[in-house]
Amino acid sequence: MASTDTDDSPVRAQLAQHLGFLYPDSNAERLADEVIAIFDHLEEQRPLPLHQLWSQEDCLLITYGDSIVDGNAVPLETLHAFLKQHVKDSISAVHVLPFCPFSSDDGFAVIDYTQVNPKLGDWSEISQIADDYRLMADIVINHVSSESQWFENYRKGIEPGASYIMEANAGDDLSEVVRPRASSLLRPTETSAGLKHVWCTFSHDQVDLDFRNPQVLMEFLKIIRLYLEHGVSIFRLDAVGFLWKEPGTTCMHLPQTHEVVKLIRTVTDFFAPGTLLITETNVPNHENLTYFGNRNEAHVIYNFSLAPLLVHALLTGKTEYLKRWMMTMPPAPVGCTYLNFTASHDGIGMRPAEGLLSDEEQLQLVETVRRFGGHVSTRRTPDGGERVYELNVALFDALRGTVKGEDPWQVERFLCSQTVMMALEGIPAFYIHSLLATPNDQAGVDATKHNRSINRHKWNWQDLQRKLSDKGSVHHQVFHELIRRIDLRRQMLPFHPNATQFTLQLHEPFFAFWRQSTDRSQSVFCVHNMTDSVQELRLSDLNLIAMDAWHDAISGTRFDDQNAVLNVAPYQSLWITNRPTSR
């Protein structure tokens, strides 16, 4: 870490290069000095070598600070109690979704980045969670709340803020701008300088920031420093793909946007080595992959295509699209990996399925999810039309049945979805409501009038305790079985995020792949029946080394006859491995 006696000349030169690209009309050396001054005297930590950034023992939990509430404690304390009592060390990292004061979008319209929402707790509760788990926090970098001091100052024409907000001018060509929403892009706003048109990518309460001003970048570097001081070690750059705007372009993934990510990576690598950057870019797969850069941007990118393709396979019993996608996915570069997830605080994004699922397959998916109580959100296209942007549904209820209708296999189908996720190359991430088998919260939608509320339920702590203690509840069954499988995964070297992965060509009902440990000592054949009927699996179709003893780590079943034919139950998952695993 930097201190008064640390040689910062290498990072100074690298920062000047980034800043010279971003701000060619400014003094890049002076700006580099400003960045270094922000991080000077940050508490020293021991850097982690690349091969120790993650392992098969890593697993992430995604949660709001108030996903569990108790009238006797602030929500962050209650969350910490849940983690310590129930999750324990099965999870290594916790993503607490935006915890700052906000005006809308459940935290993603930030009023003040430097404060913890007092309704959740304070910085001491954030730091206490960081003492027990690697803590991931959002940097909501594209926009700020219209109730923020920055926006108020913009309207009054005073700094900081007067030059922080992105405006559009008359005559700007905005026809190609990519939007995630169907609302109008521009918000007319009265200011001390007259009527202005403010850029709002997401909503009129979320006003976009103008990163063409280097002081906006400096503000966010100060925020990153503050979060580091409170124990945050993983940063999620929210909606980062929209960050830099140039009229006449799509305003997505512009070279300057990638350069900002590279600069943040340079800063954290030097001043806080071991810190991870995750980019949130809910876009088609080929665009998402660009955020690895040349191993100099994100350490981790979300595997956005997994969720819609996996749900489609489980609802239809057809695995061809899932297999085709997986076969084309490149291994993550050295020092990088994927974050695998099937549910989050948002819905199931459909943009990452574009080009992978046909329009007809997407429509079938939409109709099925609607039958199971879900909703659909749309986005505006450049030609003025609308397309499906995301499916808003609790994943547990999205898998209530198949395209044929509801059936008795909901729990098994759901467990299969999570077992696929945790076996794939990368780090698995569980949304708290998946871990708890939370159903659709239609009452939340009715109260907020926002579709995403369907998957943002707030559990009462006492009620949740009772559900998790009741062996007859689906919440108990799903939670304890998932924790058991997570604990099995943590023991198995082939599930290292960068271990070898190869898609197997078993017959249609099966989705299967092979993982091998980096030292080649252990293999796992991950086989999943994606249908509602019993399927036959010939062990001879797998490459089981004859001299090894093989068993299914999940069920404990031994396979003494490697030519045996197994009857695989509906939605059953098998982890066929050649090394003992304690159960």
Is the bond leading into 160 cis (omega within 30 degrees of zero)?
A: yes
Q: How far is CA 301 from CA 53, 99, 139, 257, 286, in A?
A: 14, 22, 15, 15, 12
Half-sphere exposure of 342 (CA within 13 A, CB side): 29
CB atoms inside a 10 Å sphere around CB 526: 25
Amino acid identity of residue 6, one-letter, is T
DSSP single-letter state for residue 116: -
Q: Compute the residue count for the chain.
A: 583
Token pair 């201190």 is at which residue?
A: 3
Q: Are 69 and 32 in contact (CB under 8 A)?
A: no
Task: Tell me how far apart the alpha carbons of residues 102 and 266 are, in angstroms, rounded to a whole number.
Answer: 29
In the annotation, is 238 catalytic? yes
Q: Are 231 and 131 in contact (CB under 8 A)?
A: yes
**238, 346, 441, 552: which is the annotated catalytic residue?**
238
Return the bridge partners of 390, or none: 349, 377
Across 247-283, b (16+ Cβ under 10 Å) vs e yields eeebbbbbebbbbbbbbbbbbbbbbbebbbbbbbbbb
Q: Which token pair is 538?
A: 């010939």
Task: Tell me how far apart the alpha carbons of residues 376 and 348 are, in angstroms, rounded to a whole number.
Answer: 10
**CB-based burial of residue 1 (10 Å sphere; 0-12 exposed, 13-18 middle, 19+ buried)?**
middle
Name the residues annotated as catalytic.
238
